[in-house]
Amino acid sequence: MIELPEAMTIAKQMHAELTGKRIVDVVRGASPHKFAFYGPLSEEEYIRRLKGALLGETTWHGMHTLTTVGDDHILALGGGGERILYHRDEGSIPKKHQLLLRFADGDALTVSVSGWGSVFCLTNEELLGQGHIRYGQPQPLSDAFTFESFAQTFSARAPEDKTSIKYHLISEPGVAGVGNGYLQDILFYAGIHPQRRVVEIKDRQQHKLYGALISTLQRAAELGGRDTERDLYNRPGGYARLMDTRTAGQPCPKCGAEIVKISYLGGACYLCPECQR
């Protein structure tokens, strides 16, 4: 799954490679995939937007890379199990892909989806209508993501609210760019159990959580994302998670207690039962 550090890494590489390139050919859905989403457009309209267009800059928002296409459109990739790869030679193009863009200079870009993923080409306005991109929310590692904006999501909940911190951070309202992948380490560094009720997390712990969130994503971004994900050149990142399937059953790096796995809200959580209350 692409999350913020991976989106940042790939977006910077795409910016360096793709800016100023012209798309000469578009192949959409060469390998049919039920959970590859192309947005609200017909295939014809989708291809019309991309074919012949000049690519502008690439930035990112949350879990998505955003590439300017011509004057009016944005290619938004990410948020799921996409592999976004750049190709200088035909041989490196995977057999199965959901999007293939060929450029005037002979290079190519492919997007292959495993699990589910989105491959959108939208106007700015259409992008705002895609809630899962969280385009209107501040993203971590940007100036807009202040402690005040983060704390406001906590104070918006009524005292009797039973929502857990896991749901709060990755679902509603969610934090742009944070998914189940980084959640484990963020909650570990903050010393918070994923099932803890949001309303029980007060000032000092909110600060600690905010700090853990930023430092975890920052470090992962510097390392090019997780070591289980790939960049634009199919190289793994350098961030090894403290809390994941590989460390379950191992001693906690802080206290030595055994790291446990629990299933919660449609995904595994890895945590230290001593450090995370």
Residue nearer to Zn ion on the CB measure, 128 or 262? 262
How many Cα atoms within 13 Å fall on the side-chain side of residue 206? 18
Q: Which of 249, 264, 240 has its CA nearest to residue 163? A: 264
* CA 46-8-85 angle, 5° bins: 55
Least distance to Zn ion from the beta carbon of 252, Å? Answer: 3
Q: Between 153 and 195, whose beta carbon lies closer to Zn ion?
A: 195
Residue 178 C-beta: closest distance to Zn ion, Å: 22
In terms of CB distance, is 180 or 276 closer to Zn ion? 276
The CA-atom distances, in angstroms, between 251 and each of 154, 170, 243, 271 are 32, 26, 11, 11
| CB nearer Zn ion, residue 128 or residue 257 | 257
Write down the least CB distance from residue 13 to Zn ion, Å: 36
Provide the minimum distance between the beta carbon of 130 and Zn ion in the complex, in angstroms, as a whole number: 39
Q: Whose structure tokens read 């928002």? A: 61
Of the two residues 150 and 189, which places its CB atom closer to Zn ion in the complex?
A: 189
The minimum distance between CB 262 and Zn ion, in angstroms, equals: 15
The distance in angstroms from the start CA to the end CA of the chain is 27
Task: Answer for the pair 122, 46: CB distance below 8 angstroms, yes or no.
Answer: no
- From the CB of 260, what's the least distance to Zn ion, in Å? 10
Whichever of 245 and 250 has its CB closer to Zn ion, that residue is: 250
Question: Looking at beta carbons only, is 79 or 194 nearer to Zn ion?
Answer: 194
What's the CA gap between 225 and 236, in Å, rounded? 8
- The residues of the shown chain that bind Zn ion, judged by CB under 5 A, are 252, 254-255, 257, 272, 274-275
User: Which long-range contacts link 48-51 to residues 24+ away (Cβ below 8 Å)?
Assistant: 49/73, 49/121, 50/23, 50/26, 50/75, 50/101, 50/121, 51/23, 51/24, 51/25, 51/26
Element (H, E) at 76: strand 73-78
Residue 164 β-bridge partners: 197
What minimum distance in Å lies between the beta carbon of 75 and Zn ion?
A: 43
95, exposed or middle or buried, with CB in 10 Å at 0-12, 13-18, 19+? exposed
